[in-house]
Amino acid sequence: MDPADWPQQLTDAVKSELVSRGPYEVKPDFTFPKNEDGRSFHHHVHRQLVNGEKIKRTWLMYSPKRDSLYCFCCKLFSQKAFKLSRHGFNYWKNCSETLKMHENSPEHTKNMGPWKELESRIRTGKTIDKVEMALIKTERRRWREVLTRLVAIIQSLAKRNIALRGTTDRLNAPNNGDFLKEVELMAQFDPVLKEHVAKVEGGANHTSYLGKIIQNEIIDCISERIVESIVSEIIQSKYFSIILDCTPDLSHKEQLLRV
């Protein structure tokens, strides 16, 4: 998760989940935006040891949403409010000196210990709340299975150019659209979706991931992966061509449909 999206209050369960994922990293081909004075962050921000060796600052995170830096362990465990732990740091002119001062500070050193200890306990399965961690892993696996099926349904409908939504988002309504109808059909035979639909219909503020917002987010995620795949093939190809498909509108002007 982008550190800008972290909740204000970090519970033990959230901390364990974030530590198990590790510090957020941007993609190697990410282009950092420039500020008003033309400066920007960059990928190669390493710590140089006294022997000249350069090592990666594994605790450092960059937030694309805020164009700011955060310290992973301090944002998780520090009780003090400073830029690298709360609001983010983006004063690029003195970036190297600030990072050097921070990693040598007592506060950072104090917070590195709980991070590495929790990381080790999670890896070896020796956390104090071992039962709770097992439940979290089970719940994560269940949601992954549910979302896998929802993505498959959306892909199936999209390949056939079938509209997803109807006039309502309620299950088992006559006009709720093809997406929910597919979910209802699969739930009759698939135990994962059957359990999920039962929980949704049971209420209790259960998250459904069946509404129009999550449908649009899944479509956006799929489209991003498709574009990434196309761009990767173009980069690897020696030659490529572009086909333009146009059609006239009501005023008989040609309109570009797709590239």
C-alpha to C-alpha distance for 88 and 135, rounded to whole angstroms: 33
Model confidence pLDDT, tens digit, residues 71-94: 999 998 988 888 888 888 888 888
Structure tokens at 95: 């970036």
Ranges of H-type helices in 67-125: 72-77, 95-103, 106-124
Rounded mean pLDDT, 185-190: 92
Question: Which residue spans within the chain are E strands per DSSP?
Answer: 46-48, 54-56, 60-63, 68-71, 245-248, 254-258
Model confidence pLDDT, tens digit, residues 199-208: 888 875 567 8
C-alpha to C-alpha distance for 180 and 183, rounded to whole angstroms: 5
Average pLDDT, the chain: 84
C-alpha to C-alpha distance for 12 and 19, rounded to whole angstroms: 10
Residues 115 and 74: beta-carbon distance below 8 Å: no
C-alpha to C-alpha distance for 56 and 82, rounded to whole angstroms: 22
Model confidence pLDDT, tens digit, residues 106-121: 899 898 888 888 888 8
Q: What is the DSSP track for 234-254?
A: HHH-S------EEEE-TTS-E
C-alpha to C-alpha distance for 115 and 19, rounded to whole angstroms: 7
Structure tokens at 148: 């896998």
Rounded mean pLDDT, 44-56: 73
Model confidence pLDDT, tens digit, residues 189-229: 999 999 899 888 887 556 788 888 889 999 999 998 898 88
Q: What is the dihedral of CA 208, 212, 218, 219, to 10 degrees?
A: 160
CA distances from 87 to 16, 59, 66, 97 (A): 22, 16, 9, 19
Of all residues in the chain, the percent with pLDDT exceeding 90 is 14
Please give the pLDDT value at position 259: 43
Would you say the pTM of this structure is higher than 0.95? no
Rounded mean pLDDT, 165-171: 87
Rounded mean pLDDT, 152-166: 90
Please give the pLDDT value at position 85: 85
Please give the pLDDT value at position 126: 63
Model confidence pLDDT, tens digit, residues 15-29: 888 888 888 888 888
C-alpha to C-alpha distance for 37 and 165, rounded to whole angstroms: 47
Angle at 233 between CA 230 and CA 237, to 5 degrees: 140
Please give the pLDDT value at position 181: 93
